[in-house]
């Protein structure tokens, strides 16, 4: 059974087991997925409301475009929940390949290399598209239903968690590579994603906390 087809309880139990997968990579993708879903919930609670409908047409158009883009990202993140566990399983399968002869050793080494690269590509994809989703939220938080502002705040936190969690998985798997150029490129891109994500998260949460502060400066 696919992870995404499990009940919440069964998924939780599967994580809380002696199996190393699903692990942090799959959970990171799920965190981002739920975060995006919360952001879209805020949008759904905005459509049709008097305050939203009174906004300029261009604002409503952009709001809808961002909402739809978030829907595409949400679906992709859902697939990555299982894809991350698949990448781990592929790596473990490669490790168990025979290594008695020189030919077997060569085939095994190449299989481990490919599996390691796959286990890097998947969480990097999670981090990349999670950042894309985060970049869409400030606008929606500003113009969406303010009664649901805390939902987009929690969504922001979950997406950020998904990003940093995915990047941790990229970095730990980079330790299994000996391609210095690839390691350098991934490290640079991961740091860039994390810095951007942190900046956006802090801005959104700062604005929300300010709006919710009962004592105004």
In this predicted model, which residue has the larger pLDDT, 216 or 84?
84
- Mean pLDDT across 119-123: 95
- Mean pLDDT across 16-41: 94
pLDDT tens digit string along 76-112?
A: 999 999 998 898 889 889 989 999 899 998 999 999 9
Determine the pLDDT at residue 189: 98
Determine the pLDDT at residue 76: 97
What would the two tokens of residue 177 be? 């590579």
| Average pLDDT along the chain | 94
Rounded to whole angstroms, how far apart are CA atoms 134 and 31?
13
pLDDT tens digit string along 144-156?
A: 999 999 999 999 9
Rounded to whole angstroms, how far apart are CA atoms 178 and 201?
34
Whether pTM > 0.85 for this model: the answer is yes
- Could you identify the residue written with the tokens 């802090």? 202
E strand or H helix that includes residue 58: helix 57-95
Determine the pLDDT at residue 182: 94
Residue 21 pLDDT greater than 90, yes or no: no
Percent of the chain with pLDDT strictly greater than 90? 83
At CA 170, angle to CA 164 and CA 175, rounded to 5? 130
pLDDT tens digit string along 27-37?
A: 999 999 999 99
Residue 217 pLDDT greater than 60, yes or no: no
Determine the pLDDT at residue 1: 77
Domains of the chain: 21-209 (1.20.120.680)
Determine the pLDDT at residue 13: 92
At CA 65, angle to CA 63 and CA 71, rounded to 5? 105
First-last CA distance in the chain = 53
Determine the pLDDT at residue 214: 81
């Amino acid at each position: 059974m696919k992870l995404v087809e499990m009940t919440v309880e069964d998924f939780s139990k599967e994580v809380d087991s002696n199996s190393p997968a699903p692990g942090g990579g799959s959970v990171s993708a799920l965190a981002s997925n739920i975060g995006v879903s919360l952001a879209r919930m805020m949008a759904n609670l905005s459509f049709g409301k008097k305050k939203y409908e009174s906004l300029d047409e261009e604002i409503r158009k952009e709001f809808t475009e961002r909402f739809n883009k978030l829907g595409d990202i949400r679906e992709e993140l859902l697939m990555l929940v299982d894809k991350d566990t698949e990448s781990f399983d592929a790596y473990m399968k490669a490790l168990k390949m025979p290594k008695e002869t020189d030919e077997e050793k060569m085939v095994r080494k190449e299989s481990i290399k490919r599996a390691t690269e796959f286990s890097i590509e998947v969480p990097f994809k999670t981090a990349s598209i999670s950042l894309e989703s985060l970049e869409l939220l400030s606008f929606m938080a500003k113009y969406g239903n303010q009664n649901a502002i805390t939902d987009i705040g929690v969504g922001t936190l979950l997406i950020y968690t998904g990003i940093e969690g995915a990047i941790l998985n990229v970095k730990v798997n980079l330790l299994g590579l000996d391609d210095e150029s690839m390691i350098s490129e991934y490290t640079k891109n991961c740091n860039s994603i994390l810095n951007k994500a942190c900046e956006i998260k802090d801005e959104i949460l700062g604005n929300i906390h300010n709006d919710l502060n009962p004592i105004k400066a």
